[in-house]
Each structure stands twice: as structure tokens, then as C-alpha cells.
Amino acid sequence: MKDKIEADSEQKKVNEIKKRAYANRNEIGSARRPSQVRKMVGHEGPCEECGAIEWDLDDVRGEVSCQACGLVVETDVIDPGAEWVNHKEGPDRSRVGAPSTLTLSDKGLNTTISRGDLLGSKARIHGIKGKALRDWRRRAVIDDRSKTRSSRARNLVKAMQFIRDKSGLGKQHREEAARFYRKAAEMGLVTGRSIQGVAAACVYLAAREAGIPRPVEDIARAFDMEEEMKMKELKRTIRLVARHLGAHRITGPEEYLDKFHSDLGLPPQVLGTANDLWDRIKGSLEWQGKKPSGIAGVLLYKSAQMRGSPRTQADVCKVVGVSEVTLRGLLRLLEKMMKHIGEAEFN
């Protein structure tokens, strides 16, 4: 009887250890780094020596042992996680570089010899001076040239520079423009055309696909293509690239209203009236074939008159990019439609 009681007592202790181990085995201390959180395959059951389930991983020695009895069951454990080690001063323990980007010719994946480290005080800090400094500068030049030996690489370097410096778009949309250019280059659309013109066309299409109002005239001005021949080339290139890339999104006047309203310095109620006016008349077939930016301009011109903040036709045409003759023609068409709806509804 006494042996049975002792055996039952011993079994209860083992069961309590197992319950405590199961309850705590998934708890991770705040001091543990991400790479230490690993599932110890083959060590989820009880210990063969004492029956406890209290496994411990020593990441320094690379051993898995039982905390209850100290039995070492695995050695030379390989940690497949990231090595979160900081070899410099500061809180940042990451060991990765910048993400890849399409706006760089090499997508930002190549290593470079920074010219900033070879100039002035930085060179002295790194212990580079005299002949060694001249040698490192020569190596930097050779390194740059080695990455642009092919015509395609030189083409991408110049095109990405245009897109980064002259597009005026956000990072996401610059990435999209760079993606368009790379596709156009793969299709051979750049051959026989200026890199500047194809880059400008890709920027225009990226902005149009994203619903950002960018008139062709603004793109041409940013890329120094305002001359008549260059403007014609740009428009032809836009149509060509859009046809091959399938970028056929059609813009509407409502996408230009916010920008033109801001450029003209009109009060907020004018924008509301212009949007309301367009909602009432946009279903008419009379607008087919008309320039969306011109329609937006005439909507704001008329709305500003109705709200007591008039702007001259010259001011509106300068912002919109259409002639005064075109604006007056659109105005006659708008007033004709408003007669059928009733102008009193907009007051």
C-alpha cells in the first residue's frame, strides 16, 4: 500500500510538471530576438530521462537540453532565422540595404564606390590620402563605366534620370513610369526615337492611368519639348506606347477640376458648383470629341461667374491650355445645355 501511495504521489508530480510545461512552452520572453523563436522538431514530447517537457535552446552553445534534469538531447543546432546583430553603435540591428527600385537602371542592386567617401574630410576619416585617394577615384570611374558598357544599360541610365528629375510625380507613380519605359524598351519602341520623348510619354501615361491630371503641355514643358516638332513627336509617341502597352484609360473633365480650381485661386463653392454642373450635363453626346481639360476650364469659368468670383477668359485659357476661341465655343455649348436644365437650379 505504501509503495502504491508513493507511486501515485510521484505520478502526480510528473503530471503537474507536464501541465506546467504545456502551459508555458509557447511563452516567449521579451528579450528573445526573432531568430530564437524556433520550433524544436523532435523535442516536443517528454524527456526520456525524467518525463518533463521543459526544453531549453541555448543559442550560444547550440544545444537543446531539458531544464528539469539537464539532459542534452541535441548539439550543433542550426538557427535558420535572421542574424539580428549590430556591429556598430546605435539601436538599428538590421543588416539589409535599400529595397530595389525600378527608377534606377540597375534597380539599386549593384554595389557602388561612393564618391562622397572620397571627398574632403570623409576621405581623411577613412584614412585615404595622397596616391591612395587618386587610385580610389580611378577605381570609382572604372566601376561606373563597367556597369554601362552595353547600349541598353546606358539607355536606362539616361531614361531613369529623366523620370526621376523631370516627372514631378510621387514615388509610386515614378515606379510605374519606369516600368512602362522598361516594357517599351523590351518591345523595341525606343529604337529610332529620343530617350527623352519616350520617357515623357511613359510619365504622361503613368499619370493618366493613376487618375492624376497632367496635360500634355505640362509634360512637354517639364521635359523641354515645347517646340512644335517636339510636341508632335511627343503626341505620336504617347499614342504608340499606349497602343503597345494597352494603357487606354480615358480621362474625364472631373479629374482636372481640382487642379484648375487651385491654379485659378477660386473659392471652394465654385468647385462644388462646377462638379454639380458636370453631373447634370455629362450624359449629353455633345461633349463627344471635346478636350477634357477644355471642358473643365469652361465649367470653372461659368461656375465662377455664377458664384460672383469671375475670371477672365485669358486667365482660364492660360491655366487650361486651350485658345480663347475654343473656350468661347465650349461656353456656347454649355449655355445651350443649361437652358434645357434651367439655370435657376444652380443659383
Residue range 99-108, pLDDT digits in tens: 777 887 777 7
Out of 160-164, 280-284, 308-312, pick the least confident. Answer: 280-284
Same domain, 164 and 133: no
- Is 104 part of any domain? no
Domain boundary among 245, 271, 288: 245
Same domain, 280 and 336: yes
Confidence of residue 301 (pLDDT cuts 50, 70, 90): very high
User: Across-strand partners of 6?
Assistant: none
Q: How far apart are CA 301 and CA 256, in angstroms?
A: 13
CATH code, domain with 221: 1.10.472.10
Res 31: pLDDT? 41
- Is 126 part of any domain? yes
Give the total number of structural domains in the chain. Answer: 4
68 CB-near residues (< 8 Å, 6+ apart): 17, 47, 50, 52, 54
pLDDT digits (tens, 9 = 90+) for 136-154: 888 888 877 777 777 888 8
Task: Please classify residue 215 by burial: count the beta carbons closer than 10 Å to its beta carbon, then call 0-12 exposed, 13-18 middle and 19+ buried.
Answer: buried
Same domain, 155 and 134: no
Residue 302 or 346, more confident: 302
Q: What is the largest CA-CA distance in the chain?
A: 114
Q: How far apart are CA 162 and CA 196, in angstroms?
A: 7
pLDDT digits (tens, 9 = 90+) for 263-293: 899 999 999 999 988 888 888 888 888 888 8
Segments forming the whole domain that contains residue 130: 115-146
Please say if the pLDDT value at position 41 is more than 70. Answer: no
- Is 136 part of any domain? yes
Please say if the pLDDT value at position 236 is more than 90. Answer: yes
Same domain, 156 and 178: yes
Mean pLDDT of the chain: 80
- Is 19 part of any domain? yes
Q: What is the reported pTM? A: 0.60
Please say if the pLDDT value at position 35 is more than 60. Answer: no
Same domain, 193 and 124: no
Domain boundary among 100, 128, 146: 146
Residue 86 or 241, more confident: 241
Domain boundary among 146, 167, 192: 146
Residue 234 or 106, more confident: 234
Nine cell digits for residue 58: 541555448
Please say if the pLDDT value at position 30 is more than 60. Answer: no
Q: How far is CA 151 from CA 112, 148, 154, 157, 191, in A?
A: 20, 7, 5, 10, 11
Same domain, 261 and 335: yes
Q: Residues 210-238: what's their mean pLDDT?
A: 89
Residue 183 or 149, more confident: 183
Same domain, 168 and 218: yes
Res 239: pLDDT? 92
Same domain, 262 and 333: yes
Same domain, 239 and 162: yes
Same domain, 57 and 8: yes
